[in-house]
Amino acid sequence: MKVKVLSRNPDEYLRETKRDIHKVPRNYDPALHPLEAPREYARALQSTKMERMFAKPFVGNLDGHRDGVACIAKHPQTLSLLASGACDGEVRFWNLPLRECTRSFQAHNGYVRGLTFTPDSQNLLSIGDDKTIKLWGLEEGQEEPINTVLSKTILTSLSHQYGENKFVTCGEVCQLWEHGRNEPIRTYEWGVDSLHNVAFNQIENHLLAACCSDRSIILYDTRDTGPIRKIVMKMRANSLCWNPMEAFHFTVANEDFNLYTFDARKMKYPINVHMDHVEAVVDVDYSPTGKEFVSGSYDKSIRIFEVHKGHSREIYHTKRMQRLTVVSWSLDNKYIMSGSDEMNIRVWKANASEKLGALRPREKAALEYHEALKTKFAQHPQIKRIARHRHVPKHIYHASEEQAIMREKMKRKEANRRKHSKKGTVPHVPERHRHVVKEQK
């Protein structure tokens, strides 16, 4: 004889405390939930709309400079400390959470061309138009530099070697310096008039690259006595930044409105071309994750690109922001700092709709669920249209339309030439192969 008994485990339906959520039993059999996909789509659509509604990227501005902001330096250990240099030679230290200037002093006569903190986080290096390299302490009240070195050539850019006591400057030539010495320990030349930007690799810290006035990009190895490789592009590169996670990848901001990502092992052509700006791109900086980078342009806008995509995922702009001079991504991957001609440093959110501050566990779970839904339905036309839509200033909108017409015209012209020429005489040249003129070793 079989006796069937109904049994219920109290752990399945009782709450431990009154504040806990009621436990609701649910059968996950898809046959019992025929409307699950439409319901998830409706939630994904609503999440996408809400994301665009709450996209308020601007956090605040740091004002106090009396001339345009020329350069910015991030402290390697403290997120709240930022250093900025202006075109009138003034250097300021900022407390980012309070948005206050904690210290200011006259560092150079003329432009401050470069700022960088030393890896031990104890000092700040600066260079200027007065041909001096100065080492400053971070303590309050130190108005005089710890050390001053007079360079024989002009100085335009500065970068510190990661984990070492060496740094590099560029101008008429590229020079490698060591702390405590008043003369460069090595000088690199390759027949160019001037170099205007230089950057050390953060992973392979003996590698560095420089942008030159003759439209070239030169790679150096501090273990060798001379440069190792050089490429010449169709237009001049303004700035360069190495990927902090990919040892040999770097991105170049160019005068032809584009950015180019190169692999240092094979520089015959870029591995990706990033378009969308409508004027010369001035500066570029990577996120700490190495998956994205930010660029600032003369078109008065900031754009955020994903490394493997050719178009920007985000654009930031304000009415008062003029031409960008410098951009920087914070080391906690949450904020972007930008400096521009009108003497302001602006702080932006890296994710425009991200909620600042601490999140409760339920809030965090809900946000993760909505992100998963948006990813699942990302290719749906309606959701894709809403997620991509951005309001841009009128001058950018019209300029981008003009550029699209020009690109279409060039494609049509090339197709007609190929159509009416002998087979093979007009080969198809991919976009990535069009921008590098030659490579020298």
165-175 confidence digits (pLDDT tens): 899 999 888 89
CATH 2.40.128.630 fits 68-150, yes or no: yes
CA distance 433 to 15: 64
Q: Which pLDDT score is estimated for 316?
A: 95
Band (pLDDT 50/70/90 cuts) for residue 426 is confident
Q: What is the mean pLDDT of the chain?
A: 90
Q: How far is CA 250 from the centre of its chain?
A: 11
Residue 43 pLDDT exceeds 90: yes
DSSP code at position 23: P
What residues contact residue 87 under an 8 Å CB cut-off, 6+ apart? 67, 68, 69, 70, 110, 111, 112
Dihedral, CA atoms, 71, 281, 197, 435, nearest 10 degrees?
A: 170
User: Tokens representing 31?
Assistant: 């046959």
Q: Which pLDDT score is estimated for 114?
A: 92
Cβ atoms of 60 and 318 closer than 8 Å: no
User: Per-domain residue ranges for the chain?
Assistant: 59-67+151-349, 68-150
**Which of the following CATH numbers is that of domain 59-67+151-349: 2.130.10.10, 2.60.40.420, 3.40.50.10800, 3.40.190.10?**
2.130.10.10
CA distance 127 to 154: 10
Q: Which pLDDT score is estimated for 57?
A: 94
Residue with tokens 């850019």: 157
Which range (13-27, 273-287, 357-371) has the least confidence? 13-27
Band (pLDDT 50/70/90 cuts) for residue 348 is very high
Residue 1 pLDDT exceeds 80: no
Band (pLDDT 50/70/90 cuts) for residue 414 is very high
User: Tokens representing 395?
Assistant: 């001058």
Summarize pLDDT for 67-83 with one digit per residue, the tens: 999 999 999 999 999 99
pTM of the full structure = 0.89
Q: How many CA atoms lie within 13 A of 106 on its CB side?
A: 5
Closest listed residue to residue 131, CA positions, set 146, 109, 104, 115: 109
User: Tokens representing 264?
Assistant: 């240092």
Cβ atoms of 100 and 94 closer than 8 Å: yes
In 3-state terms the chain splits into helix, strand, coil percentages (rounded to 5) of 15, 40, 45
Residue 436 pLDDT exceeds 90: no
Residue 141 pLDDT exceeds 80: no
Residue with tokens 């490579």: 439
Q: Which pLDDT score is estimated for 189?
A: 84
Could you tell me which residues are beta bridge partners of residue 91? 85, 105
Residue 116 pLDDT exceeds 80: yes
